[in-house]
Amino acid sequence: MDPECSRLLPALCAVLADPSQAVADDTCLEKLLDWFKTVTEAGSSLLLLQENPCLVDLLSHVLDLKPQDVSPRVLSFSLCLAGTFAAQEDCFEYLQQGQLLLGLFGEAGPLSWAAWSVPTVRSGWIRGLRSLARHPSGLHFLGDSGALDALFSLQGDSSLFVASAASQLLVHVLALSMQGKAAGSPSPQGSAWPTCAQKIVDHVEACLCSTAAPQVTQALNVLTTTFGRCHSPWTEVLWGQLSPLVAHLLESDPIPAAHSLVDLLLSVARSGPRDMAVGGPSSPVFASADCGLWETMARMLSCLSPTQAGPLALGTLKVQHCPQALKSQAFKILLQPLVCILRATAQAPGPPGLLDETTEGGSMTVDTLLSSKSACVGLLCQTLAHLEELQPLPQRPLPWPQTLLVEAAVIVLQLCDGLAAPSSSEGGRLCGALAGCVRVQRAALDFLGTLSQGTSSWELMPQVFAVLLETLESPASSPTVLKKAFQATLRWLLDSPSPPTCLNLGPHAPLFLKELFPVLQKRLCSPCWEVRDSALEFLTHLTACWGGEADFREVLLASEVPKLTWQLLRDPESYVRASAVTAMGQLSSQGLQAASESSGHPEGQQGLVGELLHILSVDSEGFPRRAVARVFTEWLRDSHADVTRDTQWFVATVLQMVSRDLDWEVRAQGLELVQVFLAQTLGQPNPNCPYAVTLPKVTPPSPLPEVLRTLCQLHIFDFVFRALFDCDRPVAQKACDLLLFLKDKTAPCRGLQEPGDSSDVTSVEATLQRWQAGEQGEPLGNLEPEEVLAALRSMDLKGLQSRLAESSDHVEKSPQSLLQDVLATVAVLEENVADCY
Amino acid sequence: MKLYCLSGHPTLPCNILKFKSTTIMLDCGLDMTSTLNFLPLPLVQSPRLCNLPGWSLKDGNAFLDKELKECSGHVFVDSVPEFCLPETELIDLSTVDVILISNYHCMMALPYITEHTGFTGTVYATEPTVQIGRLLMEELVNFIERVPKAQSASLWKNKDIQRLLPSPLKDAVEVSTWRRCYTMQEVNSALSKIQLVGYSQKIELFGAVQVTPLSSGYALGSSNWIIQSHYEKVSYVSGSSLLTTHPQPMDQASLKNSDVLVLTGLTQIPTANPDGMVGEFCSNLALTVRNGGNVLVPCYPSGVIYDLLECLYQYIDSAGLSSIPFYFISPVANSSLEFSQIFAEWLCHNKQSKVYLPEPPFPHAELIQTNKLKHYPSIHGDFSNDFRQPCVVFTGHPSLRFGDVVHFMELWGKSSLNTVIFTEPDFSYLEALAPYQPLAMKCIYCPIDTRLNFIQVSKLLKEVQPLHVVCPEQYTQPPPAQSHRMDLMIDCQPPPMSYRRAEVLALPFKRRYEKIEIMPELADSLVPMEIKPGISLATVSAVLHTKDNKHVLQPPPRPAQPTSGKKRKRVSDDVPDCKVLKPLLSGSIPVEQFVQTLEKHGFSDVKVEDTAKGHIVLLQEAETLIQIEEDSTHIICDSDEMLRVRLRDLVLKFLQKF
């Protein structure tokens, strides 16, 4: 600990120990704890306590206070602090000598005080013990002090944080007490468990046999964490001992704590194969078929309700080494709701056999689907989300019934749109339950979007496109549904498989596009800004990917879409303006900008560049301006025709506007533009430079002096130097990197004479220093390349770069300032108290 | 209690409730869909309509070609449009005591009823209902009267001839009762019979029942009605809305505890969400206008148009449509726009609070001020000078058979740049467009119907829990076009009773109690006796006096003074004899104890049998039977009076007398 902190520590302890001086802020106590933790991790705690006796004094003082005088915060802090110190065995012994630990954590301590009713105190008590339980002495202490019994009851604490922490600590203690035994071979006999472990296992066993669901849940949670965390031979013994009790739970109806049981089984299932995969010294746990895990899971799958079985089925399918039979049972359960829907709506069956085989539990699923609207919606959303999660995984079941899933997603969407007209009474009821249901629509669209990947059969595309079009077209579709529908459409369009004989976009996409664009037009006119925004985003992405396709270009140019997009540059909603800017930028890059400039917009005469510059200079919101800056950078990068007409004018004009912008992202984007410009004029930056721009190497770099002169004329240095001293760190960092790049480039420059100590250079440096001090009013004037070079050489850019790399609060984060802060807050509080009188 | 159903149209109801000696007509809707069978009435001579070919039978017989014209495969009657009236034969309408109107759309048949049936009662409605109803009637009369048609077709109505006609004329119901529109004089006379009421006002009808209008949230001044006596409550729900639009929100709480709830006027387009439709309306409007086309919105002069104008007020700037003129053309356009601003107390809270600022509650005032919205009584006059295209025109009538809309259909129908947007749900847009075919103009159907949908109904019924629900038969099955949608019907327990046109329903509840008042002096004389804790009884001897459906117990006349024989005789003639009454009994007989008592009194052979209603105690030796039931006890023994009296006294021991 540094001496300054040591000096401040007694005062701090005095403040904390004084009940009349309340510490206002919990977070500073937490920071103090963090600091003590780093200090103790770095050195000896014992030494620390000996050098700073005020710390032990603080702990004993807390115990000496009358229980009602102790502030719960300080008490909780002291408990955590004591635990942190006691984590080292010698320090533990030291504290034990004074019976301090027993006083703090024993039955006569805070456990029996009134402050115990405050959750912070209980939480601090557990955290203290958690830190303390790291060595055999700590373990004995836990066993002897009666703390385990307190932990058992804290598992059912009213505060979820406390209950969870208690459960975690039990797991930790169990693992710790077994650590010593790890060398010996595990024995299934109960007598082989160490005392602490035995006590915990007994407790868990008792809870598992209990009829009260909360007790069962607690026991299952402890076990779930245990198997999730520890993969040692003893866990297999533990499972062997407890699995009959767990299996016994399945015999009750309803199954108690089904969710926790599912978690436990999955945790056990996951714990085995991982060991196998690692192939470590420990023997493969649970790999043997006789441990009964897979049977229990299979039984569980068959007796849980469809909603409860879903997560278990998904988890089972994700476990890599589970038996094939179990996998196929789980997959059937996962598919069941969709199969039921396909049946109820009398769709043609999917791959042969799948519909017939999945009859097991089918009636239960049908009952759930038809029982109520909320049950139906819940089950379907869950199923769709599970299948969506499974779809991209390598361990997904094979054969993957892609066709069935696509058909199911389509029919679910049709049911939601009210377009399906099933003849069966079940179908009618499903229609009623799902019609207009936004939740299911969103889930189904997400799922359908995922299914675009891996669809090899393009026969499905017409029905997918049809339902997407219906959803996009339907007046009943809510903005969020439309957003998802646009996303799904994009995925299907871009991933659309085309038959090998077909060129370009395949046979379906052009037809679909013809129908899509009128809908897109309508959505661009929607009174709801979210819809206009999603439509623009969709257009941007689609254009970016397909801007070169003849079919797409034809349909787009024949529509009103480019014109409408142009009009949306003046939208009252800033997000829409920003999206319109991006979309127009993209359209223009692809040469798809409509001939709308002449359509009655006076500003249109200046072209899109003029319109975008107008937004950049006058728009009151940041988003559209950022979008313009990004578009301009892209245009410069892609050598857009409007830019190449007069690149220098373009860069100068944009930078002039950007430099005045109040939004730091716009200024940072301006630096990006400069970076692209420099790369184009000076050539590629070094490979180690973070700005790895891939440019066609068509433009040979111009001679350096000439380039520098141009940069000076365009006032680029003025902009970059200002940015270097920007009050927003990312801008300054970027500017610094840029100048370093320039410095690097100009280092071998011999075409320019050394300016020496001319007065000009001095004045430039003086100005820059003033800028650094925050006085940026003064302009840099017309710079000469020589002055720039001199300035670059004289500046410690490397040093600046590393200073900027430190987080902005590095000064304030020092422990010293933390201690000062705590003391200062108390002082201020005292002053306020004095003022009152 | 009976319900006479005079209209088959679920949203334009006309029912009569007979309840406790009163005859109450609930709404007076006029089914105007009959006009769809007629040719439009053009404001300006239309060569196209004039030159339509006459219709002839398959065999070439052309005797109907003057009355019927053919257009694109459809046949129309070339005559003044006629309306389908409520049933007039089912019940003598002169016996109707009162008519309760729930909203301005449901009073359009009023002049037919009040002026032509001998009706002498009173009509109750709220002020906005009457004022806007008057506007709707005025507009209707104006639309029809300003295009006088010489020809009146009646031959086709002959039943034998009607059978030969193509659909839908062939299937039109009760064509013989179809009537031409009423006159303004009849309208004024009918409206003069209306008495204005306010929400929650209690109106006594002959002392028998009390009627109360409640806010229904659908339109300005729209109401549901409660009709109740002391012990019975009937709720009449018609045209209600739970959406937040301009009217005051619906009062649901007062509908609780109804014995019968008559449910009419649900949304006509249950699958269309009004919000989505408004979005659709705006998008299509903007698309058309941006392309240089005109938009025609056939609509009523009041109601949804206020909400549409409000949406457009917010939308036009964002859509860059500020320079596009909006025209509202109706003989009552000005009154409608102005009336809407003065009924502050009938508006939703938001709009009410604007009045205190003070600001006009509806933003269309600003649209008018800034010249973005202009209104005209008709296309003649000022409008033709101001008319600028592209534009948006709101005008009537939504049936497209009369009104200024006919002119715009003829004018704009040929260009595919123009769009007609249907927002009123009352008419099938395909049928409305039939006489304009072939049509190049785009047609968008976005019906905006804010009335209750089936999900809302099911929530409403769960909340107010009526004992019985009565509704039009259309609501008890899914719509014919969506027969699989089992959710698009009323689902409640017990299942709703349904009615159809010209049906009489006996409502399934019996009146069991009547409230009777006791005069204070009579009440003073009562001597209650507590027979159970909290329950006291007293015998009352009094005269029941009934007048104006009120019942009062008055003290009986004093016992006759023995002064004069004559007088005494006269008094005893007037007053019913007050005989000495036997004491009244109460309590129940505990069978086991009763048997023990019998045994104590020497009856040895006692046997007890349980029956459905109580017990039978058998005295086998004496061949006697004692039947003990909840409210009666019988001793059946053969002619042994002594035994019977003995047994009776034993039974009486267990009962209280007073």
Structural contact between residues A246 and A260, judged by C-beta atoms closer than 8 angstroms: no
Structural contact between residues B123 and B114, judged by C-beta atoms closer than 8 angstroms: yes
Q: What is the pTM of this model?
A: 0.80
What does the mean pLDDT of chain A come to? Answer: 79
Cα B3 to Cα B263: distance, rounded to the nearest angstrom = 13
Contact B488 A429 (CB under 8 A): no
pLDDT of the residue at B504: 95
Contact A526 B487 (CB under 8 A): no
Query: Which residue from B460, B482, B483, B485 is spatially nearest to B471, judged by alpha carbons?
Result: B460
By C-alpha distance, the chain B residue nearest A420 is B484
CA of A562, closest CA in chain B: separation in Å?
13
Structural contact between residues B289 and A453, judged by C-beta atoms closer than 8 angstroms: no
Which residues on B lie below 8 Å from A477 (Cβ)? 276
Structural contact between residues B498 and B475, judged by C-beta atoms closer than 8 angstroms: yes
Percent of chain A with pLDDT over 90: 13
pLDDT of the residue at B174: 84
Number of A:B CB contacts under 8 A? 82
Confidence of residue A24 (pLDDT cuts 50, 70, 90): low
pLDDT of the residue at B518: 93
pLDDT of the residue at A679: 84
CA of B483, closest CA in chain A: separation in Å?
8
Which residue intervals of A108-155 are DSSP H helices? 119-132, 136-144, 147-154
Q: Report yes or no: A428 at the B interface, CB cutoff 8 Å.
A: yes
- For the sheet containing B543-547, what is the strand order? B516-518, B550-554, B543-547
Cα A306 to Cα A334: distance, rounded to the nearest angstrom = 8
Assign B517 to helix, strand or coil.
strand
Structural contact between residues B5 and B503, judged by C-beta atoms closer than 8 angstroms: yes
Structural contact between residues B42 and B49, judged by C-beta atoms closer than 8 angstroms: yes
Least confident range of A298-312, A763-777, B466-480 = A763-777
Structural contact between residues B306 and B352, judged by C-beta atoms closer than 8 angstroms: no
Residue A790 DSSP label = H
Assign A507 to helix, strand or coil.
coil
Q: Name residue B503's beta-bridge partners.
A: B5
Q: What does the pLDDT average to over A312-330? A: 84
Contact B485 A572 (CB under 8 A): no
- Chain B residues at the A interface, defined by Cβ less than 8 Å, are 271-273, 276-280, 282-284, 286-287, 290-291, 311, 314-315, 317-320, 446, 478, 482, 484-488
Distance (Å) of CA B112 to CA B23, B86, B183, B190: 18, 9, 10, 9
Q: Report yes or no: A429 at the B interface, CB cutoff 8 Å.
A: yes
Q: Tell me, what's the ipTM?
A: 0.75
CA of B487, closest CA in chain A: separation in Å?
5
Q: Which residues contact A600 (CB under 8 A, 6 or more apart)?
A: none
Structural contact between residues B263 and B469, judged by C-beta atoms closer than 8 angstroms: yes
Cα B546 to Cα A245: distance, rounded to the nearest angstrom = 79
Which residues on B lie below 8 Å from A523 (Cβ)? 283
CA of B399, closest CA in chain A: separation in Å?
23
pLDDT of the residue at A727: 78
pLDDT of the residue at B577: 55
Which residue intervals of A180-322 are DSSP H helices? 195-209, 213-229, 233-249, 258-278, 293-303, 306-318
Cα B84 to Cα B12: distance, rounded to the nearest angstrom = 11
CB-nearest to A525 from B286, B314, B486 is B286
pLDDT above 60 for A695: no
Cis before B168 (ω within 30): yes
Give the dihedral sign, CA A230/A231/A232/A235: positive
Interface test with A, best of B487, B488, B489, B491 (most A CBs within 10 A): B487
Confidence of residue A764 (pLDDT cuts 50, 70, 90): low
pLDDT of the residue at A189: 52
Which residues on A lie below 8 Å from B292 (Cβ)? none
Q: What does the pLDDT average to over A2-17? A: 83
Number of other residues whose CB lies within 10 A of the CB of residue B181? 24
What single-letter amino acid sits at B321? L
Residue numbers of chain B with a pLDDT score lower than 50:
567-569, 571-572
Cα A625 to Cα A659: distance, rounded to the nearest angstrom = 12
pLDDT of the residue at B284: 94
Q: Which residues contact A442 (CB under 8 A, 6 or more apart)?
A: A480, A481, A484
Assign B529 to helix, strand or coil.
strand
CA of B340, closest CA in chain A: separation in Å?
25
Contact B484 A435 (CB under 8 A): no
Residue bearing the bigger pLDDT, A547 or B218: B218
Query: Percentages helix, strand, coil for chain A, rounded to the nearest 5?
Result: 70, 0, 30
Dihedral angle over CA of A719, A722, A727, A733, nearest 10:
70
Which residues on A lie below 8 Å from B416 (Cβ)? none
Q: What does the pLDDT average to over A172-190? A: 64
Question: Could you give the angle at the alpha carbon of A447 between the alpha carbons of A442 and A448, nearest 5°?
Answer: 100
Q: Which residues contact B552 (CB under 8 A, 6 or more apart)?
A: B516, B517, B518, B519, B544, B545, B546
Which residues on A lie below 8 Å from B319 (Cβ)? 525, 527
pLDDT above 60 for A503: no
pLDDT of the residue at B92: 94
CA of A567, closest CA in chain B: separation in Å?
8
By C-alpha distance, the chain B residue nearest A417 is B271
Dihedral pair phi/psi, residue A144, rounded to 5°:
-80, -30
pLDDT of the residue at A774: 64
What is the tens place of the pLDDT at every residue in A596-648? 444 444 444 468 888 899 999 998 899 999 999 999 999 998 888 888 888 88
Contact B287 A429 (CB under 8 A): no
By C-alpha distance, the chain A residue nearest B311 is A527
Residue B31 DSSP label = B
Residue bearing the bigger pLDDT, A102 or B417: B417
pLDDT of the residue at A185: 47
Distance (Å) of CA A92 to CA A47, A131, A140: 12, 11, 12
Residue B552 is inside which H or E element, if any? strand B550-554
pLDDT above 70 for A835: no
Tokens 């029996």 label which residue? A112
Cα A175 to Cα A650: distance, rounded to the nearest angstrom = 67
